[in-house]
Structure 1
Amino acid sequence: MTGIDANCMHEIEARYPEYFHRSFRQRFGGLMIVIATLLYGLYAVWFFDLPKLFAEAHWERVGIYLSQWVSYDVQPEFRIQDDGSIAVRYPRFSPLGDNPHPDWVVDNPDGSITVAVSAAARVVTISKSETIVTADGVSVPIDVSSGAPKVVGPVPAWMTVYDDNVLADLGFAGDVSISVDRVNIRKRFLGWANFVFDTQSSFFDKPVGEVISLIVSGPRIKPDQSNLSLAFDDIWNNSEWQHGDVWTKLFQTIVMAFLGTLLGALAAFPLAFMAARNITPNRLLNQILKRFFDFLRSVDMLIWALFLTRAFGPGPLAGSGAIFLTETGTLGKLYSEGLENIDNKPREGIQSTGAQTVLVHRYGIMPQIVPVIVSQTLYQWESNVRGATIIGAVGAGGIGLKLWEAMRTNANWENVAYMVILILIVVFLFDAASNALRHRLMGSRTH
């Protein structure tokens, strides 16, 4: 092989100087970006004091909230009477109904009561003078015959002793609070209680087969109403899950997103033609409209919703108006930029024939800009379904307000999960519909 002499080297260097005489930025630019990113990360850690934040975070609440999304609890109270008997009471709106007799509460012949908190050998036995909590193969007696409950023997790690009560944490199964005159038990169940029929329904606590039989061919429960209509009314007006109100608010959210996006697109379309420099050769008008678009979209949709709820009061009108104002600015900017990037040759060709301005726009501009308009409008419509949920939380109507009300109680997390799942389903469906419409209108298919 013949080597490369000095003349050849100089010739190659002269021909490809970008490879042999690289600037400092070209040689060390990538390294500098990595170093700058690391330094910024360290700065963020210091600025937000992340170590302290993570150390003081209540991580245990994450598991509690997640468990409450997929479960419900029943809280019976066992009161020890003066005569030694034990009275069982349930909350007024217990998931078990007005007069519950669950099989996990057993009356013993000696007058005591045994409560199976979970199937994994977590049992509580309540008597006049003593309560025994059994968990993890260990039975712990608590003496309640004196002025304060007293644990007999060593105190396990899952039990905490206070001045006037003893708390036993049984994990996901629930917990037990023991005082001298009463025992409060919280027993947790997987699932959503009374999701179909609430405790006031005529179909409550009936097996599925019996409900179907009553609806199909059973005698009328109410003489003036069919069983099918009664079942639908009971589901729609379920007092615990409020299906009718939730679905109505969900439909409001969809309408808000559609109406706001549609009105925004209709307003932005003609304004974009006046804002595009190559369509309307008036620099002052171009700049005024572009700054107007910047103003509308720089004010967040949530802020517009706050303004409009003060002006028109809470409700979907304020939500639709907030989406309309934001989308007028966003779509106006996108449409005008799309118009400024079109190929002027088809437009000039049609103009040379002496065609009217409307025909020039129709045949010289619209075929080029339609894909941009369709794509961006459908994407914004899909995005606004999510946005309408957020602005609903500040009073702009829709399911967002309902979701915020459920979260504020800090107790109805299963209702929160229900609404979140509905929102996710709607977003997925709108995403699929948006993609299908986009491909169909633009004449393309994605495989």
Structure 2
Amino acid sequence: MTSMNRMHPQEMDAIAARHKDLLEKSNGKRLRLLSIWAGAALYLVFCWWMFSISDVLRNANWSIAGSYLADWVSYEVRPELEIAPDGTMKIDYGRFSPLGHNPTPEWVTLETETVQRTVSTTRAQTNTPKPSSTISFMVAPAKSADGGNDTPAVAEAVASRSEEVITRAVVSLGAGTSIEVADKQVSVNHSGETLVATVDGVAKTIPNGTLPAWAVQKRPGEKITLSFGARGWAEIDGDEVSIRRRFFGWANFVFDTNSPFFGKTKGEVLALITSGERLDPTRSNLALAWNNILYNAEWQHLDVWTKLLQTIVMAFVGTLFASLLAFPLCFLAARNITRNRVVNQVSKRFFDFLRSVDMLIWALFFTRAFGPGPLAGISAIFFTDTGTFGKLYSEALENIDEKQREGVKSVGAAPLAVQRFGVLPQVLPVFASQSLYFWESNTRSATIIGAVGAGGIGLKLWEAMRTNSDWENVAYMVLLILLVVFIFDGISNALRSRLMGAGLQR
């Protein structure tokens, strides 16, 4: 058996001589494949050179990229220590601190004392005789025309008051990283290294020794920027130490700092809702809690959900109107349905005009025409998809099985009946499948065109991105958009499968 399967070289040459065309085709196919791979490789090399990919990768600041990604899943608490020329300090957490009003976090240790502050006060002085006083008037009363002191004068007085100030502050950022400020000296511990800097309480910062790798000072005397990786960062200025400590998660996602439920544990909130005394006499605690969630000032849940619903409606209405208009027009563009070349070409060029202008450009145009809002977005989707649907529908019509149509026509059916029973059963599942796909796709597109003023969640997403600080809100909206797209994609795939299956059965 082995000797029979083996072929002598002369026999192989004889077969090759008799069937040269087969070998030539095989060699030609290999050459074409090799040419395609070579062309693709050359194109990739050209792109690498044209866009300077190597320089981009070499000069990229990956630390900024890491901080940017961390902003999506974390939040910052921002204590700021204001340093006076005498070395005393005040601490401020910002107006919209995620810790609420008057925060006292356990990772901040403060030592305070009461000092006497000298302050200057001013008041109006009239010609009414006053008892003798130790206060000296810096501005004498003005004289009237008859020599009297009728005109009030401004008097300046010196007074003292008691004030509580911070003399030493220690801020811990975790994992051995800490910042200590006392007597106009800032001591920073991080990664086993210590940085000591002296500040003057006005504008100058002087480091003691060489700066570690995680500290940067652009010019002598200017502020020092400290990077602590995932734990946060800080700045040491002459009169202030600004600290940004990072925490994983989304702060105050359910209740904001103005809610009476803020700062309470889940058990406490549940007890208040089920059996606690009313916090608001006009409504139950459950209604109050739901209202606080919807109108959360930091996350704006109700507004975000409303804008997301606008985006969904925008995509649905635009796609629906486009498919309804493209349906009758596609019969004019199909050459096997309408035997008029002029009508065919006019219809196809009309579809080309609508779909050749990008949806984003249409959105800009209609935002200018109708003003910002969902109407501009619906119109942009409607125009673009009418051209796309018209082209796809007409091509589906041109590829139908003519035998079914001829069979209906052979029994003497009217032209309208021929289209109804000979054409539509073949193309309707395809039309519905394509419409469902674009409905799901337009949900994503509606987000993009919303960013240019067409309304919906896209505009709100763009507003959050422009602040360059609310990236956790951006992440929240992106996750909602992804969730909606996943749901619609599943629904669209299931409906398309059933429709295409029904079409194949027919």
TM-score class, shorter-chain normalisation, is over 0.9
Deviations, residues 78-131 of structure 1 (Å, cap 9, x unaligned): 1234665432112111111121111111124894221112x2011112212322
Kindly indicate whether residue 155 of structure 2 is the aligned counterpart of residue 155 of structure 1.
no
Tell me the residue number matched to 2:105: 102
| Distance across 2 between alignment mates of 1:93 and 1:5 | 88
Kindly indicate whether residue 348 of structure 2 is the aligned counterpart of residue 290 of structure 1.
yes
Tell me the residue number matched to 1:31: 34
| Distance across 2 between alignment mates of 1:43 and 1:155 | 43
Tell me the residue number matched to 1:442: 500
Contact 1:13 1:20 in 2 (8 A): no
Tell me the residue number matched to 2:56: 53
Tell me the residue number matched to 1:86: 89
Tell me the residue number matched to 2:373: 315
Specify whether residues 141 and 60 from structure 1 end up closer, same or farther in structure 2 by C-alpha distance, changes over 3 A only: closer
Counterpart of 2:24, as a letter, is H
Specify whether residues 342 and 83 from structure 1 end up closer, same or farther in structure 2 by C-alpha distance, changes over 3 A only: same
Range 45-54 or range 218-227, more displaced: 45-54
SS at match of 1:264: helix
Specify whether residues 377 and 139 from structure 1 end up closer, same or farther in structure 2 by C-alpha distance, changes over 3 A only: same
Tell me the residue number matched to 2:296: 238
Please report the TM-score for the alignment, with normalisation by the length of structure 2.
Answer: 0.82
Deviations, residues 28-74 of structure 1 (Å, cap 9, x unaligned): 21222222222222222232233333333333321111010111111
Q: How far off its partner does 1:185 sit?
A: 1.1
Tell me the residue number matched to 1:431: 489
Kindly indicate whether residue 43 of structure 2 is the aligned counterpart of residue 40 of structure 1.
yes
Please report the TM-score for the alignment, with normalisation by the length of structure 1.
Answer: 0.92
Kindly indicate whether residue 229 of structure 2 is the aligned counterpart of residue 171 of structure 1.
yes
SS at match of 1:21: helix
Contact 1:95 1:194 in 2 (8 A): yes
SS at match of 1:436: helix
Tell me the residue number matched to 2:126: none
Q: How far off its partner does 1:418 sit?
A: 0.7
Structure 1: gaps (5+ residues): none
Range 254-263 or range 216-225, more displaced: 216-225
- Paired residues for 1:175-324 under 5 Å: 175-324=233-382
Contact 1:259 1:320 in 2 (8 A): yes
Contact 1:86 1:128 in 2 (8 A): no
Contact 1:128 1:145 in 2 (8 A): no
| Distance across 1 between alignment mates of 2:104 and 2:445 | 46
Computing the radius of gyration from Cα coordinates, the structure with the larger value is 2
Contact 2:87 2:201 in 1 (8 A): no
Q: How far off its partner does 1:264 sit?
A: 0.5
Structure 2: gaps (5+ residues): 114-166
Contact 2:307 2:455 in 1 (8 A): yes
Q: How far off its partner does 1:384 sit?
A: 0.5
Q: How far off its partner does 1:217 sit?
A: 1.8
Contact 2:171 2:178 in 1 (8 A): yes
| Distance across 2 between alignment mates of 1:96 and 1:23 | 73
Counterpart of 2:172, as a letter, is A
Deviations, residues 248-292 of structure 1 (Å, cap 9, x unaligned): 111011001100110011001111112111111111111111111
Range 332-341 or range 214-223, more displaced: 214-223
Q: How far off its partner does 1:8 sit?
A: 9.2
Tell me the residue number matched to 2:139: none
Tell me the residue number matched to 1:383: 441
Kindly indicate whether residue 191 of structure 2 is the aligned counterpart of residue 136 of structure 1.
yes
Specify whether residues 283 and 115 from structure 1 end up closer, same or farther in structure 2 by C-alpha distance, changes over 3 A only: same
Counterpart of 1:152, as a letter, is N
Counterpart of 1:379, as a letter, is Y
Contact 1:143 1:152 in 2 (8 A): yes
| Distance across 2 between alignment mates of 1:49 and 1:392 | 33
Name the structure where helix makes up a greater proportion of residues: 1
Tell me the residue number matched to 1:343: 401
SS at match of 1:123: strand
Tell me the residue number matched to 2:424: 366
| Distance across 1 between alignment mates of 2:406 and 2:343 | 23
Counterpart of 1:116, as a letter, is S
Tell me the residue number matched to 2:118: none
Range 211-220 or range 356-365, more displaced: 356-365
| Distance across 2 between alignment mates of 1:66 and 1:390 | 21
Q: How far off its partner does 1:325 sit?
A: 0.8
| Distance across 1 between alignment mates of 2:356 and 2:201 | 68
Deviations, residues 183-204 of structure 1 (Å, cap 9, x unaligned): 2111111111111111111211
**Pairing partner for 2:172 from 89, 110, 116:** 116
Q: How far off its partner does 1:409 sit?
A: 1.3
SS at match of 2:337: coil
Specify whether residues 376 and 146 from structure 1 end up closer, same or farther in structure 2 by C-alpha distance, changes over 3 A only: closer
SS at match of 1:95: coil
SS at match of 2:436: helix
Contact 1:71 1:192 in 2 (8 A): yes
Name the structure where strand makes up a greater proportion of residues: 2
| Distance across 2 between alignment mates of 1:154 and 1:4 | 82
| Distance across 1 between alignment mates of 2:16 and 2:110 | 98
Contact 1:80 1:128 in 2 (8 A): no
Specify whether residues 5 and 38 from structure 1 end up closer, same or farther in structure 2 by C-alpha distance, changes over 3 A only: closer
Cα-Cα RMSD: 2.4
Identity %: 53
Specify whether residues 52 and 405 from structure 1 end up closer, same or farther in structure 2 by C-alpha distance, changes over 3 A only: same
> Alignment length, in residue pairs?
443
| Distance across 2 between alignment mates of 1:341 and 1:182 | 74
Counterpart of 1:54, as a letter, is L
